Amino acid sequence: MGFFDFLTEEIAIDLGTANTLIIHNDKVVVDSPSIVARDRISGKIIAVGKEANLMQGKTHENIKTIRPLKDGVIADFDASEQMMSQFIKNVPALKKRLFPPSLRMVICIPSGITEVEMRAVKESAERVNGKEVYLIHEPMAAAIGIGIDIMQPKGNMIVDIGGGTTEIAVLALGGIVCDKSVKIAGDVFTNDIVYYMRTQHNLYVGEATAENIKISIGAATEDLEMPPEEMSVQGRDLLTGKPKQVQISYREIAKALDKSILRIEDAVMETLSQTPPELAADIYNTGIYLAGGGSMLRGLDKRLSQKTDLPVYIAEDPLRAVVRGTGIALKNLDRFKNILIK
């Protein structure tokens, strides 16, 4: 511990396509949509997180809402940095400080990320005062967050269904043995619903409405034990141009999402087929762990379980499993030094 350590603060960040979470002093202090609103004329960021999210789909020509991450990686560097910087400034304990403290950070990254993308995350972190920056692969963080002992000579399979990507990984001995990342996750589900409403009901709905449908009555299968009730959905009639309302059932959403979920199933099956036999034997006993917001889609666990003939468990608080694991890695840098990327 150095002399100036009292000037250093430690934070763990899950910079996700849909949501950014920050842990400081063991507590989730930021949990916000990864979105910023920019004034087109001045170029200034006028809102971030929840506030910017409320503006989505309702902007006029001088305001643009941007999601700085796409498919799990930074797509708009400037916006992503400003967003990160704003979120860090909003951490209550850091707000009170006279000088911005230097930061020891652990940030998670998708397992399929390239060297260049990795460097971009690191450089962004350094520019927001990260003096000591470590990166950790998301499936690893998810596993730690779920409470799996990843250092054991035992195979575990994690499927993290986020907003931008679904990451499937088999972990053992503190490493990723085989993995697969597909760009089918929550955002694609939402777009499937927009498309379905347009083609089946001639109803034009925005992304926020489609996401609401997904969360309220979304399903991965028509065979649900506790089906949700029908939902009224409002939007614009594509034929008459008038606002209109229709009733939608979860069965329709299950149909709308079927193709995308099939692709996730295929990716899981493919990863299983590449798993070395000793680890496959472990997974036969331990099953598959799901994390990420997309894993909360009704019946998805059941559908994956039927497809793979394995038990499937959803992590407790799946939206926070990755950041929880990132926070644990931050607190135990020594123990996890082999899996952190400096």
Reduced to 3 states, what is the DSSP secondary structure of residue 143?
A: helix
| Residue 214 makes contact with ligand ATP by CB under 6 A | yes
CA distances in angstroms from 41 to 1, 18, 61, 77, 186, listed in the order given: 47, 26, 10, 19, 32
According to CB under 5 A, which residues from 110 to 149 bind Mg ion?
A: none
- Going by C-beta distance under 8 Å and a sequence separation of 6 or more, which residues neighbour residue 171? 139, 140, 143, 148, 150, 155, 156, 157, 158, 177
Rounded least distance, CB 318 to Mg ion, Å: 10
**Would the CA dihedral through 162, 146, 122, 51 be positive or negative?**
positive
Listed ranges 35-43, 79-87, 259-267, 292-300: which one lies at the site for ligand ATP (CB under 6 A): 292-300
Beta bridge partners, 203, equal 237
d(CA 137, CA 113): 9
| Residue 162 makes contact with Mg ion by CB under 5 A | yes
Identified binder of ligand ATP from the candidate list 68, 155, 186, 299, rule CB under 6 A: 186
Site string for ligand ATP, 135-164 (x = CB under 6 A): ---------------------------xxx
| Residue 16 makes contact with Mg ion by CB under 5 A | yes
| Residue 215 makes contact with ligand ATP by CB under 6 A | yes
- Residue 165 binding target from Mg ion, ligand ATP, none, CB below 5 to 8 Å by type: ligand ATP
d(CA 264, CA 287): 17
d(CA 152, CA 171): 9
Q: Which residues bind Mg ion (CB under 5 A)?
A: 16, 162
Q: Which residues bind ligand ATP (CB under 6 A)?
A: 16-19, 72, 162-165, 185-187, 211, 214-215, 218, 292-294, 296-297, 319
Binding residues: 17-19, 163-165, 211-214
